[in-house]
């Protein structure tokens, strides 16, 4: 069952629904706010929309990189499993 959470990101209060649970939502909010701080700590004035876009791009890059690594590991496990099955079949 989804629960409503009141969160604050980039100084904006938002109401979101999630089934993930309190701890997960808190971790997500903290992660995004930390990403905002990383960009916000840089010199120069940057508006909120640009910060949000840059944070989204950074998170998307991290996600796609992790997904690529995960897919590579999955493919390797599949290949190794096939080799093991083939070796077992040869022993029989």
Could you tell me which residues come within 8 angstroms of residue 6 by beta carbon, excluding any fewer than 6 positions away? 13, 14, 15
Number of domains the chain is built from: 1
For residue 61, what pLDDT is reported? 95
For the stretch 75-88, pLDDT in tens is 999 999 999 999 89
b/e code 14-43 from CB counts within 10 Å (16+ = b): eeeeeeeeeeebeebbeebbebbeeeeeee
Range of the domain at 69: 3-91
The answer, as to whether pTM is greater than 0.85, is no
pLDDT of the residue at 41: 64
> CA–CA separation, 28 vs 24, rounded Å?
6
Give the model confidence (pLDDT) of 15-69 as tens digits.
Answer: 999 999 999 999 999 999 999 988 876 656 678 888 899 999 999 999 999 999 9
Query: In this predicted structure, what is the pLDDT of residue 44?
Result: 62
């Amino acid at each position: 069952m989804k629960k409503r959470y009141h969160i604050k990101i980039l100084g904006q209060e938002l109401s979101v629904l999630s089934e993930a649970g309190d701890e997960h939502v808190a971790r997500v909010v903290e992660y995004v706010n930390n990403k905002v701080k990383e960009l916000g700590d840089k010199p120069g004035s940057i508006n909120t929309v640009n910060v949000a876009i840059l944070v989204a791009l950074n998170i998307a890059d991290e996600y796609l990189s992790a997904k690529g690594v995960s897919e590579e590991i999955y493919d390797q496990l599949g290949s190794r499993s096939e080799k093991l099955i083939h070796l077992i079949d040869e022993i029989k």
